[in-house]
Amino acid sequence: MRIELTPAAARAALSGVRDDDLEEADLMDAFARLVWSVVVEPGDGVAGRVVEEWGAAEALRRLIAGHPLQTNGIDASDLAKGLSRWKPRGDATAVRAATESARRTGARLVLPDDPGWPGRLADLGVHAPFVLWARGDVALVADEMPTVAIVGARAATAYGEHVAAELAAELASAGVTIVSGAAYGIDGVAHRSALHVGGRTVALLAGGVDRPYPSGHAALIDATARSGAVLAETPCGTPPTKWRFLARNRLIAALADTTVIVEAGVRSGSLNTAAHAAALGRPLGAVPGAVTSASSAGCHRVIRDFDGSLITGAADVRELLGLTDAPTLSFDETRTDEMTRVLDAMSTRQSRSPDEIARRSGIEPQEVRGLIALAELSGQVLERADGWRRALSTR
Amino acid sequence: MRIELTPAAARAALSGVRDDDLEEADLMDAFARLVWSVVVEPGDGVAGRVVEEWGAAEALRRLIAGHPLQTNGIDASDLAKGLSRWKPRGDATAVRAATESARRTGARLVLPDDPGWPGRLADLGVHAPFVLWARGDVALVADEMPTVAIVGARAATAYGEHVAAELAAELASAGVTIVSGAAYGIDGVAHRSALHVGGRTVALLAGGVDRPYPSGHAALIDATARSGAVLAETPCGTPPTKWRFLARNRLIAALADTTVIVEAGVRSGSLNTAAHAAALGRPLGAVPGAVTSASSAGCHRVIRDFDGSLITGAADVRELLGLTDAPTLSFDETRTDEMTRVLDAMSTRQSRSPDEIARRSGIEPQEVRGLIALAELSGQVLERADGWRRALSTR
């Protein structure tokens, strides 16, 4: 470990990536977090636990000095393996390269105590990132913002791209921040569609924010940074790897109030995002498609095996988000003349028995029962202990 | 009411539609049920309750004689309305016409005490049919037969017809009786596909079994009667009406261990079948499709609002039926090299912690955790109190 833990070194490192003038303790904590983010791979729970126990600066000091770092809940052997993973990467050159590249890119360092830090990340516990690097406005994923992750297969079909575009446009227009991973296919469509309607969108990258990936999406990622935000926990200069994609997926799931999978084959990485959302206890949705389409097989598995909500449109997502208190579907289409007579004979304020509804509507009680069953199916009527009433909202 | 309730009249009526020589009490009960089925519309719960209370023959005797029929659980006003519905239709000519037409068609009368009577109908309670008219082998829906209703929109798409054909062929080949309603679209495909593979199929008609409906399916219905069965509760000569279709749907739901909706618009009558299946507490499934397809909107509603299972193929239906004890999907496709190493480091008999799996596989514990999350998603591994183990079946 060749890193100097001094206020001067900290100030030099943070210059140009932070605007504020931190007090010494905060300064050293910020610098130590920055170093930790260079030293460990994303989501390293051993490092997360060590930093939680000792504090970022003290833990780093001990790591550099070779002092004991024993930590509750971490086996000695896991800790030893952690030290052997981290030490080779504790290099002032690597830290300097990361901050220099961040300055060139205009990336800012965001820390857990900052007002813009997304509180949702706390659900990741010891797997939460040490820092975030941000191009653009990190406040778009602040706690008061409704956020939806729209993710899916790179190998999307025209159908999937169409649905992703509609969902993103409609939700972004309604003020929801669209979170995604900037990949080809569904992710890219989600960002592009949100930008297109002038909405909010945030891309999470698996590598550094100075390295737009995939390169074919460099312009899209730049546009997202200008109008929204591009975020990563990995330092600038870090190339994406398979593991970093999987780790990045946990950030997407954690930053989103709800995650919606639009299209996914059974091997799609977006299923990993779905698994993280489920593990975090966040509402999870998936868009169905033809059972003959391999690109929807993963979505069907999310609905079947992960209890994911079946999403047919933005209204269903808004319901998952709790943004609506009643379905916004139109039920008028289910009306027949007899159905109209039955519904007209019912009240939204008072329950009535099928027989009373039959009397009022002049339709046989049996037929009334059949029509009530049909109307219940479409959510037009509700059963109460003392009979049936009309549902309030039949917008 | 101009009907003579004598053994001679009963024998004349049953001649040619029953093979057996019934004792007098059974003979009169059979004749009375036949008359009730002519006199009342399907699913008339008032008549059902009256017959349950008094017995079919005694209730009919009292109806004809104008004697009191007061019945527990039936309001006097409902009973009075029932009497006024039934009396105008109590006509020996109507009964004679029904049995004559049945004889010409070769339809047999099936009664609740018969060995072939489907016990599943008992779940309908007072809405159970008084009799069934059968062309073909009613034993195909006997209690020991696994039965699946495959129903859906008349206005099916090529996609829906393809899925219905695959489901029906695969399930019928596995010995499951395919129950449906002989309509254009999904229903017809289900029957045809079951017949095509030499499987069992049963059509429930809304009118008499002597009146194939729709007429364009006359040949299909005849073929179903020859190789399977065509059933109705309505007497021969009865034309189908909208109400009779809704009532017929309850029989489809009641005769099936599970009902699967393949395609359905939001106004499709098959949603009424779904509602009946749900009301009967039977497992209910629906095949998803594109959210842009109006023909799948009803299926999506069944999955969302009726807790219907999402069905991607025959294996999912077999699981609903309890015919499989493990998923039959192949998970090999989700293997990567690292995944293989992780799975190889796990046991089906013994739980191991992620750390131990990491040790055995030589892969970082964090990556092991990510791969385990992925493997859990595809059902390859299971979490236990003391760690993780491999799922038994990865067929």
User: Can you give the CATH number for the domain in which A356 is found?
Assistant: 1.10.10.10
Say if B16 is an interface residue toward chain A (CB within 8 Å): no
Same structural domain, A131 and A275 = yes
Q: How far is CA A234 from CA A33, A42, A217, A244, B19, in A?
A: 12, 7, 19, 9, 83
- Mean pLDDT score across all residues of chain B: 91
Q: Cβ of A287 and B291 within 8 Å? A: yes
Give the per-residue pLDDT at B385.
Answer: 79
Same structural domain, B238 and B382 = no
CATH of the domain at A200: 3.40.50.450
**C-alpha torsion angle, residues B46, B52, B53, B57 (rounded to 10):** 100
Same structural domain, B173 and B264 = yes
Please enumerate in sequence order all residues whose Cβ is within 8 A of that of A15, keeping only pairs 6 or more positions apart, or say none: none
Residue B51 belongs to domain spanning? 7-100
In a domain, A65, yes or no: yes
Residue of A301, A306, A374 lying closest to B271 (CB–CB): A374
The minimum CA-CA distance between B288 and chain A, rounded to whole Å, is: 6
Say if B337 is an interface residue toward chain A (CB within 8 Å): no
Could you read off the pLDDT tens digit of each residue along chain A, which spans 395 residues?
Answer: 689 999 999 999 999 999 899 999 999 999 999 999 999 999 999 999 999 999 999 999 999 999 999 999 999 999 999 999 898 888 899 999 999 999 999 999 999 999 889 999 999 999 999 999 999 999 999 999 999 999 999 999 999 999 999 999 999 999 999 999 999 999 999 999 999 999 999 999 999 999 999 999 999 999 999 999 999 999 999 999 988 999 999 999 999 999 999 999 999 999 999 999 999 999 999 999 999 999 999 999 999 988 899 999 999 999 999 886 544 333 333 445 677 778 878 887 788 888 888 877 777 787 888 888 888 877 788 888 788 888 764 32
* DSSP code for B392: S
Share of chain B above pLDDT 90, in %: 75
In a domain, A110, yes or no: no
Q: E strand or H helix at B301, and its extent?
A: helix B294-305
Q: Give residues 169 to 228 of A whose Cβ lies within 8 Å of B.
A: none
Same structural domain, B251 and B386 = no
What sections of chain A are H helices per DSSP?
A: 7-14, 24-39, 45-54, 56-65, 76-86, 92-105, 158-173, 186-196, 218-227, 242-255, 270-279, 294-305, 314-321, 337-344, 354-361, 365-377
Give the per-residue pLDDT at B391.
Answer: 79
The minimum CA-CA distance between B243 and chain A, rounded to whole Å, is: 7
**Chain B partners within 8 Å of A373 (Cβ):** 272, 275-276, 279
Looking at chain B, which residue has its C-alpha nearest residue A126? B366
Residue of A81, A267, A279 lying closest to B333 (CB–CB): A267
Q: Cβ of A275 and B44 within 8 Å? A: no
Same structural domain, B290 and B385 = no
Same structural domain, A266 and A151 = yes
- What the block records as the tokens of A332 is 């008028």
Among A277, A295, A321, the domain-final residue is A321
**Chain A partners within 8 Å of B75 (Cβ):** 355
Give the per-residue pLDDT at A336.
Answer: 56
Residue of A290, A311, A364 lying closest to B159 (CB–CB): A290
Our count of domains for chain B comes to 3
φ and ψ of A232, to 5 deg: -155, 150
Looking at chain A, which residue has its C-alpha nearest residue B47? A366
Contact B103, B17 (CB under 8 A): yes
Say if A332 is an interface residue toward chain B (CB within 8 Å): no
Same structural domain, A377 and A357 = yes
In a domain, A113, yes or no: no
Among B321, B344, B375, the domain-final residue is B321
pLDDT tens figures, B275-332: 999 999 999 999 999 999 999 999 999 999 888 999 999 999 999 998 865 443 333 3
In a domain, A114, yes or no: no
Q: Cβ of A44 and B366 within 8 Å? A: yes
The average pLDDT across B121-139 equals 97
In a domain, B108, yes or no: no
Q: Cβ of A266 and B334 within 8 Å? A: yes
Among A103, A135, A152, the domain-final residue is A103
Same structural domain, A312 and A338 = no
Same structural domain, B144 and B263 = yes
pLDDT at B334 over 60: no
**Chain B partners within 8 Å of A280 (Cβ):** none
Contact B263, B289 (CB under 8 A): yes
Look at the block and give the residue holding tokens 């131990």: B356
Give the per-residue pLDDT at A348.
Answer: 76
Judged by DSSP in three states, A135 sits in strand
Same structural domain, A236 and A314 = yes
Give the per-residue pLDDT at A395.
Answer: 29
Q: Cβ of A275 and B374 within 8 Å? A: yes
Q: Cβ of A272 and B374 within 8 Å? A: yes
Q: Give residues 241 to 300 of A whose Cβ lies within 8 Å of B.
A: 243, 246-247, 266-267, 271-272, 274-276, 279, 287-292, 296-297, 300
In a domain, B326, yes or no: no
Q: Cβ of B246 and A370 within 8 Å? A: yes
Same structural domain, A303 and A379 = no
In a domain, B131, yes or no: yes
The angle formed by the CA atoms of residues A90, A94 and A95, to the nearest 5 degrees, is 85
**Chain B partners within 8 Å of A313 (Cβ):** 291
In a domain, B113, yes or no: no
pLDDT tens figures, B7-49: 999 999 999 999 899 999 999 999 999 999 999 999 999 999 9
Q: Cβ of B75 and A276 within 8 Å? A: no
A76-90, A379-393, B92-106, B146-160: segment of lowest average pLDDT: A379-393
- CA gap B256, B280 in Å, rounded: 11
**Chain B partners within 8 Å of A309 (Cβ):** 304
Q: How many residues does chain A have?
A: 395
Residue of A85, A159, A246 lying closest to B370 (CB–CB): A246
**Chain B partners within 8 Å of A312 (Cβ):** 291, 297, 300, 304
Contact B236, B101 (CB under 8 A): yes
Same structural domain, A250 and A311 = yes
- What the block records as the tokens of B95 is 């009964």
Q: Cβ of B266 and A159 within 8 Å? A: no
- Per DSSP, the residues of B142-175 read STTS-EEEEE--SS--HHHHHHHHHHHHHHHHTT
